[in-house]
Structure 1
Amino acid sequence: MKLEGKKALITGGNSGIGFATARLFIHEGAEVAITGRDQKTLDAAVKELGLKAVAYRADVTDSNARADLFSKIGQRFGSLDIIFANAGIAGATPIGSADEAVFENIIRVNLTSVFFTVQAALPLLNDGSSIILNSSVIGSLGSPGRAAYAASKAGVRGMARAIASELSPRNIRVNVVAPGAIKTPIWSRGSTPPKKADELTAEWAAATPLGRLGEADEIAKAVLFLASDDSSYVQSVELFVDGGIVGSPIGGATFRSA
């Protein structure tokens, strides 16, 4: 088992990539704390994950909630070996009509709260721990209408490199996983009609060199690599798990048939 005896925190671990990662971590021997804002999905997640999982309802953007979260984790686990800062939101911010409150909230959730989650966790982190931040290919692609989301995810990359420089003396590794289009509940959230969501899915699949959306389990395997000793000499990287859309941006069927 790659994580035998390890203790991990996964924010946004009640669904999608976070849940898949929690399940894999537990399979590999870890005890896992997950967070989320919806108690119903947290309860369902813990029921499925079993006795080596514990859930905390917490808003990672709230400093008091973060303090309470890490107080409870400290009492339960004593210390942490792994943090996967996964919680995040999407949103449209087209230039010319973007709502300032929406823009600021995306930055707050996806970037600011990630930094302060890591900061709040530091007293619990053992030397030699692994921190993984969840980014996105949108942080590298010029996706129209996604300026705030792109800025937040590109910011995660830059932030990870700075934090890695600071924490390297403690042998704490800080890396980034950058998923492409992945089959998760985020595709069906919000006001996007199902037909439009299906169209977007087809478009992303056609633009991806491997010709399909990824699975949450495929991201979880990449996070496991970054969390485990398999990546013991990996520091400050952004690992794209995207079917080739960043590395070969015109390799998808859309472009091959043009």
Structure 2
Amino acid sequence: MSLPNLQQFHKKPYPAISPSRPELSQEGRTVVITGGNSGIGYAIARGFITANAKCVIIIGRRPTVVDSAVVRLVEEAKQVGSKSTVQGRICDISDLASAAAFWTGLQNDDIHADVLVLNAATSGPAAPILESGLDGVWATFEANVRSTLDFTIRFYQQSVPASQKGMFLVNVSSCAGYMWNTMAPERPSYAMTKNASTLLIQQIAKDTIPDDMQIISFHPGAIATEEVTRRMGSDASMNVPFDDENLAGHFAVWAASMEARFLHGRFVWANWDIEEIKSGDVGKHIAKDANFLKVGIEGLSESMGSPMLSSEQVEAVSAMLQERRRKT
């Protein structure tokens, strides 16, 4: 799946998003990755280590799994000649007390996070919403939406050193948030909450200048995570042409760079070629349409106006509010 006018679709890492590029260096930065002990999160941690982040902190719920991942990441850092240090911390992101303890722990240890990668999520019940019941559906909201808001607020409200040059929020979303009938249709709570969390991040970005906190959401591609292969069955998954997990890992590093600033507040796929996104028809569309690649209602957009306002009036009001936000 790609944008109609994009010619390239990547399934493996490619040079433009290589974390080894000097332009994508994460030197001096501390990176926090939720769910960084396995799958996509682990690949993202590996990417930031390759980009020489000062410290990579992975979060998980299971101590033995987190500890094992730290040992492997430390070894991988040695293999690529990275100076990154690696920490593992235990936290259940869906539990407010556990999340508060994590951020208090960073503060007590005088650690300031420069990059936050929101990767951890739950897939939710494999049943229609009305059959899942209130508890099952709401637990998915707590894990995938409330935790997104909680972590983003705590990240943004850190005491920032005077020398700090802004922060980077990278949200690992999913195409399931808009491909309702083809991606995980048996888990509607997952699709609904990924849509909601992406919209939440989008709204935060609308009111946040990228100099303070750059925000990008992306679909990581079709990755053979433990959850995916378990749902499909190992035999069925063997025949699926999955994407390389390092594609998502490298893209996350690129998303935490100044090169990605033009995508602030938008949703993209890791599979899309960044040069094509920046240039040509797609780049022009991004430049002229503030709502392109954002959550909305299919078939409707603000540019169509409303019974109360013409499209010209909508644009004028939008420009006025943006100018007001810049001044404040």
Give the TM-score of the pair, scaled to structure 2: 0.65
Q: Root-mean-square deviation (CA), in Å?
A: 2.3
Q: 1:66 aligns with which of 76, 86, 99?
A: 99
Contact 2:129 2:189 in 1 (8 A): no
Structure 2 unaligned regions, length at least 5: 1-21, 75-83, 274-328
Match of 2:58 in 1: 34
Q: 1:104 aligns with which of 135, 138, 161?
A: 138
User: How far is 1:105 from its partner?
Assistant: 1.4
User: How far is 1:11 from its partner?
Assistant: 0.5
Structure 2: how far apart are the matches of 1:96 and 1:198? 31
Structure having the larger proportion of residues in strand: 1
Task: Report the residue type matching 1:239 in the other structure.
Answer: V
How do 1:98-177 residues align onto structure 2 when only pairs under 5 Å count? 98-124=132-158, 126-143=164-181, 144-168=185-209, 170-177=211-218
- The answer as to 2:269 corresponding to 1:232 is no
Give secondary structure in 2 for the equivalent of 1:106.
Answer: helix
Structure 1: how far apart are the matches of 2:171 and 2:86? 20
- Figure out how many residues of one structure are paired with residues of the other and give that number: 232
Task: Report the residue type matching 2:32 in the other structure.
Answer: L
Match of 2:128 in 1: 94
User: How far is 1:188 from its partner?
Assistant: 4.1
User: How far is 1:98 from its partner?
Assistant: 2.6
Q: 1:81 aligns with which of 114, 123, 130?
A: 114
Q: 1:219 aligns with which of 218, 224, 248?
A: 248
Give secondary structure in 2 for the equivalent of 1:232.
Answer: helix
Runs of 4+ in 1 over 6 A off after TM superposition: none
Between 51-60 and 12-21, the greater mean CA deviation after superposition: 51-60
Structure 2: how far apart are the matches of 1:32 and 1:99? 38
Larger radius of gyration: 2
Q: 2:235 aligns with which of 198, 201, 215?
A: 198
Give the TM-score of the pair, scaled to structure 1: 0.82
Match of 1:55 in 2: 88
Contact 1:214 1:243 in 2 (8 A): no
Structure 2: how far apart are the matches of 1:201 and 1:166? 44
Structure 1: how far apart are the matches of 2:121 and 2:157? 23
Aligned-residue identity in percent: 25
Structure 2: how far apart are the matches of 1:183 and 1:243? 19
